[in-house]
Structure 1
Amino acid sequence: MTAVLAVGSRQNTAERWERRVHLGAHPVLYPVIRGLGGLRPVLRLPGVGVLVSEAGLVREVLMNQELFVKNGPSGSGALWTPVVGRKALVNMDGEEHRLLRRRLGDLFTPRSVEGIVEPAAVVLKNRVHAGFEAHGRVDLVDCVKELAGGVISRLLGVPEDAPGRLADRELFDLGSSISSLVRLGRPTLTERQVAKGKSAVAILAGPVRTAYRESDPDTFPGRLRELGMSEDEAMGIISAFVMVGTETLVSFVPRLVALLADSGRLSELAGDRSAVPAAVNEALRFTVPSPMMLRDAVADGAIGGTKVRAGDRILLSTIHAAKSLGGFDPSQATPQQARQLWFGAGPHFCIGMPLAMAEINTTLDLLLDLYAQRPWHIAGRHVSRGVLIPGYRKLELANA
């Protein structure tokens, strides 16, 4: 009985911290969205849009590209067009999007992804080991930001010895400065925000254009050229990956580690890696790195029996759709309608998922290896406040 109570207590601790993370980011919107989601699966909110909160219906909308589009005036894709141009994949729909996605598919094979992540993973490993050896502790959030910056460097095609090369952490901060422009309650970017985004993209553009023109097939821009992309198309595609991938990764990895530590699952996973995929998948389901997705209705129709009109803004509450399925439990299979919903579904399913998973698994493998050698614990943490993507501002791991 005592052991059962201890497990339950750890589980409650894990879920309490996750709630704090969400409330830190959205102290008003989070409880409102969760509360509204519990009222009805589809709810029209006057002046706001149509809120969809049930997993099966969220998937249904994502699969229907004829009726619900991403690049409409209030859809998430349209936010980025003034910053990165028309052809950045994230802001495209229809046949044009399908053809571009097909051309990009080979860039995210396991082998290709390994070539992008491996150099950054080496830096991460050295950073974490040095921190533990010198100080007995590391800030995981800071380390993952550097990992993300290293991946950005590879996407840009920046040589390690390039003159004036930005450090990996600086590259992350640059990418983050673009993605942080978005707010849930604002459907468009202001002129000032567009100018700020363009300024950051211009800094990223230099190495991308150089790598593209040199046509080195060992670089990501060089491979885009080989696929027939124009220079501007390559720039838009890479900028989009930098914008949409960095914040969600840096949000999720520390939350994953905190969930596993708080719920007392580290020892089990360090000794049996076969349970890791289920734990990661359940952590993705429970944390919901992409808490809201936006679409525009382009014709009259219906969602779950609720009528929608052309021009309606559709708010897909992935956070309620996923969290309403229950607490964090890696032994429980995710229902079919909710599987990988945090990566989207249908034509816009996240093409960069293999890259994100490689970064996630690389970091977790490293930390589990260290835990098996010498257990560590969470020594301190602070949640981020007033951000778009919920996460930890700091998560300090220390030797036991």
Structure 2
Amino acid sequence: MNWERRLYLTAHPLAYPLLRGVARRGPAVRVPGVGVVVNDASLAREVLMDGERFRKDGPGSPGELWTPVLGPSVLLNMEGDAHRALRRRLADLFTPSYAGELCARVLAEPLERLSGRLASGASVDLVDASRVLAGAVIGEVIGLETRSEAAFRDLFAQGERIVSMISLRTRRLSPAQVGRARAVLDPLGDIAAKAYAAGDESTVMGRMRALGLSADEARGAAGAFFLTGTETVATLLPRLIALLADSGRLDDVAADPGGLLGRAVDEAMRATTPTPVMLRSVARPATVGGIAVRPGDRVLIATHNCCRAYGPFDLDRPHPPELRRLWFGAGPHFCIGYPLAMAEIRLVARTLLAAAPLEITGRSAARRVLIPTYRTLTVRSTREPAPGPARGSTNGEVAA
């Protein structure tokens, strides 16, 4: 069985066959209890670009899901003038240059240790390594003071516990689920608020203050970045390496990362679709793929179906305009953390590719997760081991 399909079936054994079955019914399909499901990239982009008729702050939208947890003023639950105003203030938060500098600084030591382990010929679990690395970056974003490997793992696990409460059919969190999410996010919000109050503009929270965000807005933004950014990066990296290895193209990209890595990351994101679905609430009467929708109806953009319509992973596949980075959204809600995610992914991927040729020595799929992923994916470099003792921990983990 194709490993990407196995990951989806293990994570969503019932919902995934339904999602793929709906894809065969046409560009848009009304599914009782779910809403109008969009399976076509062009149609999905039309919905995402129309913030007047399709919104993130109505019934069945991300706003209904996350406002009880994050508060009313975060980008993922806002629309209209308030959203545009906050978006403008955040526009310079993650510039490509700042994102690159942040990742290079935060990941320098753990990536050096990862390189050392690979150079020694040891097997490394890329799932564990990616979680530590993603935790290090998001810890920097929210102002986490404890810079240990254990703290980074714990940070990732906390986010995973919240996100795992969501299924493809979830419309809102129960009061008990909201309580569990707040129990995780409130202490992290306190950490972010402390970093905001310090006002150090070399930090992300300090930059938010300098950009004119209020303390509550900065705290909410930190929570949103924590929830939406950590798993996206951590799940993509092992799948990227697995896709390159399984397709026989890993050595090609390793030989020419400057020319091929960007294309490989985009194609891996299309094939894996780190945001499998996106939600919108209908605010005005409209038509979606020939289906009439009314205010209060729910539109579920099956991003995975939109992307997978173009076939399996193929490094040489061109992406048509309507597909371009659809997994990060489109229009007014295109992911503001995109530069940070890409900087992290490219930096870690270059480190891994520098150790090529790589051999996958073991893997298994993760259960009870929202974003399909590997539970473990161990690799080792088949290069002649470097002389001298191995650097890093003896169990193949990344030290921070």
Fold conserved between structures, TM > 0.5: yes
Partner secondary structure for residue 74 of structure 1: coil
Where does structure 2 lack aligned partners over 5 or more consecutive residues? 383-400
Q: In the alignment, is the contact (CA less than 8 A) between 1:251 and 1:389 conserved in 2?
A: yes
Q: Offset of 1:133 from its aligned partner?
A: 5.4
Partner secondary structure for residue 168 of structure 2: coil
Q: In the alignment, is the contact (CA less than 8 A) between 1:83 and 1:198 conserved in 2?
A: yes
Of residues 365, 368, 388 in structure 2, which corresponds to 1:386?
Answer: 368
Q: In the alignment, is the contact (CA less than 8 A) between 2:123 and 2:379 conserved in 1?
A: yes
Q: Offset of 1:266 from its aligned partner?
A: 1.3
Partner secondary structure for residue 370 of structure 1: coil
Change in 2 beyond 3 A, CA 1:154/1:37: same
Q: Offset of 1:158 from its aligned partner?
A: 3.2
Is 1:32 the equivalent of 2:14? no
Q: Offset of 1:137 from its aligned partner?
A: 0.8
Change in 2 beyond 3 A, CA 1:40/1:391: same
Paired position in structure 1 for 2:56: 70
Work out the CA distance in 2 between the residues paired with 1:87 and 1:130.
43
Q: Offset of 1:198 from its aligned partner?
A: 0.8
Work out the CA distance in 1 between the residues paired with 2:340 and 2:320.
24
Q: Offset of 1:175 from its aligned partner?
A: 2.5
Q: In the alignment, is the contact (CA less than 8 A) between 1:70 and 1:295 conserved in 2?
A: yes
Of residues 290, 295, 298 in structure 2, which corresponds to 1:310?
Answer: 295
Paired position in structure 2 for 1:79: 65
Work out the CA distance in 2 between the residues paired with 1:52 and 1:133.
46
Paired position in structure 2 for 1:247: 231
User: Structure 1 residues 172-181 or 25-34, which shifts more?
Assistant: 172-181
Change in 2 beyond 3 A, CA 1:236/1:165: farther
Of residues 329, 351, 355 in structure 2, which corresponds to 1:366?
Answer: 351
Work out the CA distance in 2 between the residues paired with 1:204 and 1:138.
30
Work out the CA distance in 2 between the residues paired with 1:367 and 1:191.
43
Change in 2 beyond 3 A, CA 1:165/1:198: farther
Of residues 322, 341, 347 in structure 2, which corresponds to 1:356?
Answer: 341
Q: In the alignment, is the contact (CA less than 8 A) between 2:94 and 2:336 conserved in 1?
A: yes
Paired position in structure 1 for 2:327: 342
Of residues 233, 252, 256 in structure 2, which corresponds to 1:272?
Answer: 256
Paired position in structure 2 for 1:396: 378
Is 1:141 the equivalent of 2:127? yes
Paired position in structure 2 for 1:4: none
Paired position in structure 1 for 2:274: 289
Of residues 233, 237, 244 in structure 1, which corresponds to 2:217?
Answer: 233
For 2:376, give the aligned amino acid: K
For 2:270, give the aligned amino acid: R
Work out the CA distance in 1 between the residues paired with 2:125 and 2:40.
36
Q: In the alignment, is the contact (CA less than 8 A) between 1:123 and 1:147 conserved in 2?
A: no
Q: In the alignment, is the contact (CA less than 8 A) between 2:89 and 2:213 conserved in 1?
A: no
Give the percent of matched residue pairs that are identical in Structure 1 and Structure 2.
45
Q: Offset of 1:86 from its aligned partner?
A: 0.5
Where does structure 1 lack aligned partners over 5 or more consecutive residues? 1-12
For 2:176, give the aligned amino acid: R
Q: In the alignment, is the contact (CA less than 8 A) between 1:69 and 1:298 conserved in 2?
A: yes
Work out the CA distance in 2 between the residues paired with 1:344 and 1:103.
19
Larger helix proportion of the pair: 1
Q: Offset of 1:166 from its aligned partner?
A: 7.0
Paired position in structure 2 for 1:151: 137
TM-score (norm 2): 0.91
Quote the RMSD (CA, aligned, Å).
Answer: 1.7
Paired position in structure 1 for 2:32: 46
Q: In the alignment, is the contact (CA less than 8 A) between 1:124 and 1:144 conserved in 2?
A: no
Work out the CA distance in 1 between the residues paired with 2:19 and 2:161.
26
